[in-house]
Amino acid sequence: MKRRSFITAGGIGLAATTIAAPAIAESAPELKWRMACSWPKSLDTIFGAAQHFADRVAEATDNKFQIRVFAGGEIVPALQVLDAVQNNTVEMGHTASYYYVGKDPTFSFDCTVPFGMNKRIQDAWMLHGGGMQLMRDFFKDYNVHNIPAANTGAQMGGWYRKEIKTVKDLEGLKFRIAGLAGAVLTKLGVVPQQIAGGDIYPALEKGTIDAAEWVGPYDDEKLGFYKVAKYYYYPGWWEGNAQLSLYINLEQWNKLPKSYQAIVTAAAYESNLWCIAKYDTDNVAALRRLVANGAELRPFSREILDACYKAAQQLYTEIAEKNPKFKKVYEPWKKFLEDEHQWFRVEEQQFDNYMLSTKRT
């Protein structure tokens, strides 16, 4: 009797296993996707964050979901990643949304806005302040599902062939700069140029541009800017943070199993943390090396900062009056930023100011 029960139970178990196997296989399909990036491979920070993301997805799916990462220009031009994802030329991309403000200035909020949020506030706005939903609603029009997947933190103010002491010194300056910052600086006489990272050095070397900004010491050293421009300014008021995003073709996203969607989201968030931690670690020694190699650190004057801030606020008002999509995001974004500043002024700023005041050198 017991033997018969065992055989029956075993038979049922075997049958159940046989039936379940296809369902399990179907829920974890083998996929091979391509990711186009806006970065050169030499940058093991932001390109590294994209590769880190792909590696984590592969590990979490036992290599069933493989994503091949391409540097800027390898599969599509560095500044056309959005178009490639939108058109399903590639399934996903890793890029900075402010490269596409020519299509709509609202893109800037998914990356950075001049005199806007720092990294902490950007994360808070996106994850708990309503920013993610606002941007998801916006990106649907471009057939894209967006997920934050890296951040540089606050950036430096760039490399200049000559000293920039007054607002007048900005007039006629041919400056490589991306996003809404170019429109802000245009009000002060700057001639902005949007150039992909891998193309900046030759443009600066040949004198096609007079100045260039990228990220900060670690990346800037790798790209060699100190060899062709010695004045290194701070702060990069146009990028208190720079959130880089994973763009996924919306139709491809919707076809992914829920488990894969969860893995992609988790891997993107991990890459976001991985990237800023790497920058905060590596920028320290890189800045020391740059100064040792002749870079001359210069702060922007208060005159320049105030003029740029005023121009930025004027620009946002002008855009909001004409662009309802921009206004829909800008108004809650601005309110959230103002509220966060009240909190940071009470606690974070006081702690940082005191700790930094104890280190005079």
Domains in the chain: boundaries: 30-153+241-281, 158-238+291-339
Q: Long-range contacts of range 136-139, CB-CB < 8 Å, 24 or more positions apart? A: 138/106, 138/107, 138/110, 138/325, 138/329, 139/110, 139/247, 139/250
- pLDDT score, position 359: 80
Instruction: Return the structure tokens found at 153.
Output: 């933190």
| CATH architecture assigned to 158-238+291-339 | 3-Layer(aba) Sandwich (3.40)
Q: Residue ranges of the chain with pLDDT lower than 70?
A: 1-26, 360-361
Residue 276 contacts residue 154 (beta carbons within 8 Å): no
User: Would you say domain 30-153+241-281 falls under CATH 3.30.410.40?
Assistant: no
Confidence (pLDDT) at 27:
74
Angle (nearest 5°) at CA 172 between 196 and 105: 50
Pairing of strands 144-151, 243-249: antiparallel
Burial 42-76 (b: 16+ CB within 10 A, else e): ebbbbbbbbbbbbebbbebbeeebebebbbbbebb
Q: In what order do the strands lie in the sheet with 31-37?
A: 65-70, 31-37, 92-95, 243-249, 144-151
Report the predicted TM-score, pTM, of the whole model to 2 decimal places.
0.91
User: Which of 151, 109, 143, 328 is CA-nearest to residue 247?
Assistant: 143
Closest C-alpha to 218, from 305, 153, 273: 153
- With beta carbons less than 8 A apart as the criterion, state whether 68 and 55 touch: no
Instruction: Report the DSSP beta bridge partners of residue 299.
Output: 234
pLDDT at site 26: 56
What is the per-residue pLDDT for 361?
56
